[in-house]
Amino acid sequence: MIGIIDYDAGNIRSVEKAMKYLGQDVCITRDRDTLLRADKVILPGVGSFGDAMNHLQEYGLVDVIHELTELEKPFLGICLGLQLLFERSEESPGVEGLGILKGEILKIPETEGLKIPHMGWNSLTFQNQGRLFKGLEEHPYVYFVHSYYLKAEEESIVKATTQYGVTIHASVEKGNVFACQFHPEKSSRAGLQMLKNFAEL
């Protein structure tokens, strides 16, 4: 069973629908015991870094997420779910992230000709052999919606980048923890292949 963490994030149902399309047994929950029993766990998310951390605290999910990642079961952060795994974000100064991975979330710089938020399809460049990308051809197009981007401290965990006025660390992997800034559940065949690869870990 794949547990999807419920903290009132906006893209939960689309993640659930994609996993069910792939034939996976999924459960949307914020119950600690249910999440700990899950074979794999997904942390979705759209919205504000600070608001999301407040919800995770309110529902007692911060400690649960740390437990889950320490148990070494596959864990996937999507969009804001990627950002929350890191230490801090310029979007919400003074708010501590989960700190499971080292790095910071920065505002995409204003660049002539580029709109903020970064919204729409962009291609990935793979590096460091990410397991989510098994069976995919180089430079697949995936769907982004974000105004802030990851700069990871450890280059070795970065598995895909994209360009949007700056180099964006678009996907990371460290041990059992995976995360994507883009939305695989909205990224057509390539995104479904990534979710299938996660489900089959």
Which of these, 96, 41, 44, 98, lies nearest to 71 by C-alpha position? 41
Mean pLDDT within 168-180: 98
61-70 vs 49-58: helix axis angle to the nearest 10?
A: 90
pLDDT at residue 10 is higher than 80: no
Does 112 qualify as catalytic in the annotation? Answer: no
Express each pLDDT in 50-103 by its tens digit: 999 999 999 999 999 999 999 989 999 999 999 999 999 999 999 999 999 999
Residue 104 has pLDDT above 80, yes or no: yes
**Domains of the chain: total:** 1
Residue 79 is among the residues annotated as catalytic for this protein: yes
118 is catalytic: no
Q: What is the pLDDT of residue 14?
A: 94
CATH of the domain at 120: 3.40.50.880
Burial of 60 (0-12, 13-18, 19+ CB in 10 A): exposed
Asked whether the predicted pLDDT for residue 142 surpasses 90, the reply is yes
State the pLDDT confidence band at 8, using cuts at 50, 70 and 90: confident
> Which of the residues 79, 91, 146, 180 is marked catalytic?
79
For the residues 139-168, what does the mean pLDDT come to? 97
Of the residues 110, 146, 183, 200, only one is catalytic, namely 183
State which H helix or E strand residue 106 sits in. Answer: strand 103-107
Query: Which one from 16, 91, 173, 185 is the annotated catalytic residue?
Result: 185
Question: What domain range is 133 assigned to?
Answer: 2-199
